[in-house]
Amino acid sequence: MINVTMSFLPPLAEYTKYLESIWERCHLTNHGPLVFELEERLKEYFGVKHVFLMTNGTVALQIAIRAADLKGEVITTPFSYVATTSSLVWERCKPVFADIDETTFCISPAEIRKNITSETTGILATHVYGYPCPVDEIEKIAAEYNLKVIYDAAHGFGCRYQGKSLASYGDISMVSFHATKLFHTIEGGALFTNKDDLAHKISHMRNFGHNGPEDFWEVGINGKSSEFQAAMGLAVFPYLDNIISSRKERSDQYREELKSTSIRIPNVPAGLEFNYGYFPVFFSKESDLLAVKTALNAYQVYPRRYFYPSLNTVNYVEPQSCPVSEELSSRALCLPLYPDLKPAEVKMICRIIRETMDRL
């Protein structure tokens, strides 16, 4: 069976060393030393002033929305994983969908402007597949209308744009450390900010609002990461360069094997140091995608329609028209990509795709 991804696991002995230190201290959670160590490593890696590990990326987004004091209407993208939208709804905000750019797959600045009203309090945008949003234009819009900007950078670990980590843009950025990501803490995520006032809020909100053991600054929830999650992150960290390098090799092979087909393969944008976290392809029509997906499934190969459906169509938001997102989401498929994927397996996958496309 070849799934769309497979989690990277470091050598067991290296993870066990961290577990032994946890057993020695009997400090399992509540801001343990491994959590602080990983946060410091991440600050240095991302070049961001404040980093807060979280139990998962969705809780991190919810805390970011609260910390940024977003209320009423929040302009967001319809082309993302469902957590981007559901976090807004969960926090009693109204998602207002701005359509995407068909080249970058990210939210369109022109569409953001069209959707700004007196009720708009912020922008929640996604760096889709690790490709950067038009951050300079979004920053100008936010400054003009006094809006907060949160970036869902779940796919952005290791991506640098214009010489800066993707996590350094916006008021707050969230990065996911779920087991399916190229860097993971089994379950997990983090918030990144360069703003001291937001860091103060986040630090309290992720810990029930505690301001000392017997005082509470304001309402909060339990967003803390455990020592076991941090241990996995620390054990994975030394392998990042190898993980990204191997993913690039497989991506280059896919690109070469599929170049003779009509399938659209996005190029890495200029100015981006890429992480090769995903290998998305776009078919000319949905029926071609479904035929290829069925053919691959018959060989126990399981790509993923990522992102599908377009989030402006889910049943708990007000229907809004986003024709570009709706069209692209119907034709997007992410092919299997992970460090242990063998070149022969990539070759087989591409052969099945080419043979299927030839019959259509």
For position 11, which CATH number holds?
Answer: 3.40.640.10
Query: Average pLDDT in the 12-33 region?
Result: 97
Share of residues in the chain with pLDDT > 70 (%) = 100
Interacting residues of 343 by C-beta distance below 8 A, sequence separation 6+:
250, 253
Residue with tokens 């990065």: 175
> Are residues 101 and 42 part of one domain?
yes
SS3 content of the chain, % helix, strand, coil (to 5): 45, 15, 40
Look up residue 243 and give its two tokens.
């993980």
The DSSP secondary structure of 198-258, one letter per residue, reads: HHHHHHHHTBTTBSSTT-BSS---B-PPPHHHHHHHHHHGGGHHHHHHHHHHHHHHHHHHT
pLDDT at site 213: 78
Share of residues in the chain with pLDDT > 90 (%) = 96
pLDDT in tens, 147-157: 999 999 999 99
> What average pLDDT is seen over the chain?
97
Of 132, 128, 188, 119, nearest to 160 by C-alpha is 132
Query: Average pLDDT in the 256-274 region?
Result: 96
pLDDT confidence tier of residue 289, bands split at 50, 70 and 90: very high
pLDDT at site 1: 96
Pick the last residue of a domain from 238, 273, 295.
238
Pick the last residue of a domain from 238, 254, 275.
238
How do beta strands 189-193 and 50-54 pair? antiparallel
Pick the last residue of a domain from 201, 220, 238.
238
pLDDT at site 159: 97
Handedness of CA 94, 99, 105, 107 (dihedral sign): negative
pLDDT at site 217: 82
> Are residues 216 and 79 part of one domain?
yes
Look up residue 266 and give its two tokens.
């996005």
pLDDT in tens, 26-69: 999 999 999 999 999 999 999 999 999 999 999 999 999 999 99
pLDDT confidence tier of residue 162, bands split at 50, 70 and 90: very high
Domain count, the chain: 2
> Are residues 277 and 175 part of one domain?
no
pLDDT at site 118: 98
> Are residues 146 and 248 part of one domain?
no
pLDDT confidence tier of residue 211, bands split at 50, 70 and 90: confident
> Are residues 246 and 143 part of one domain?
no
> Are residues 182 and 261 part of one domain?
no
pLDDT at site 88: 98
Instruction: Using the predicted structure, report yes or no on whether residue 212 has a pLDDT greater than 80.
Output: no
Instruction: Using the predicted structure, report yes or no on whether residue 209 has a pLDDT greater than 90.
Output: no
> Are residues 85 and 217 part of one domain?
yes
pLDDT at site 214: 78
pLDDT confidence tier of residue 215, bands split at 50, 70 and 90: confident
pLDDT confidence tier of residue 314, bands split at 50, 70 and 90: very high
pLDDT in tens, 57-116: 999 999 999 999 999 999 999 999 999 999 999 999 999 999 999 999 999 999 999 999
Instruction: Using the predicted structure, report yes or no on whether residue 131 has a pLDDT greater than 90.
Output: yes
pLDDT at site 325: 98
> Are residues 171 and 315 part of one domain?
no
> Are residues 265 and 354 part of one domain?
yes
> Are residues 201 and 307 part of one domain?
no
> Are residues 201 and 94 part of one domain?
yes
> Are residues 46 and 190 part of one domain?
yes
Query: Average pLDDT in the 129-141 region?
Result: 97
Residue-range definition of the domain harbouring residue 296:
240-359
User: Which amino acid belongs to residue 300?
Assistant: Q
Residues in the chain: 360
Cβ atoms of 64 and 150 within 8 Å: the answer is yes
Instruction: Using the predicted structure, report yes or no on whether residue 140 has a pLDDT greater than 80.
Output: yes
pLDDT at site 355: 98
CA-to-CA distance for 116 and 107, rounded, in angstroms? 14
The better pLDDT of the pair 220, 195 is held by 195
Interacting residues of 344 by C-beta distance below 8 A, sequence separation 6+:
none
Query: Average pLDDT in the 236-249 region?
Result: 98
Please report, for the domain that includes residue 341, its CATH number. Answer: 3.90.1150.10
Of 165, 174, 230, 237, nearest to 8 by C-alpha is 237
